[in-house]
Amino acid sequence: MIQIMLDDNELKELYLAEVKKKLEGIEFQSILMDSRQLCKMLSLSWPTVEKTFLIDPGFPKLRVGKKWVFNRKEVQAYIDDWSLRNKTKPF
């Protein structure tokens, strides 16, 4: 006979960790993001995003009413290119 013993607390921790990973994946896969999500993605404050990126006409942005929305894939491509261009600039 095989007997299996489970630790409820450890099982709960594993479950919650997997749920958190799944939720983060769902948020990351969404096509559009708002300004709060953009700031989180870039790890920058909104004023820094405004003065660094929003003034650039090439930055992928869309104004819907009073709200800015951003295409996640386009922003990622722009940031990849931007970081390569600015990597070689001296401070």
Two tokens at 32?
């559009």
What is residue 7's predicted lDDT score, i.e. its pLDDT? 86
Q: pTM score, two decimals?
A: 0.63
Cβ neighbours of 75 (radius 10 Å): 21
> Residue-wise pLDDT tens for the chain (91 aa)?
888 888 888 889 988 898 888 877 666 667 899 999 999 999 999 999 999 999 999 999 999 999 999 999 999 999 999 998 888 766 5
Q: Which residues, 6+ apart, have CB-to-CB distance to 33 below 8 Å? A: 41, 69, 70, 72, 75
Instruction: Say if CB 63 and CB 74 are below 8 A apart.
Output: no
What is residue 86's predicted lDDT score, i.e. its pLDDT? 86
Q: In what order do the strands lie in the sheet with 32-34?
A: 32-34, 67-71, 62-64
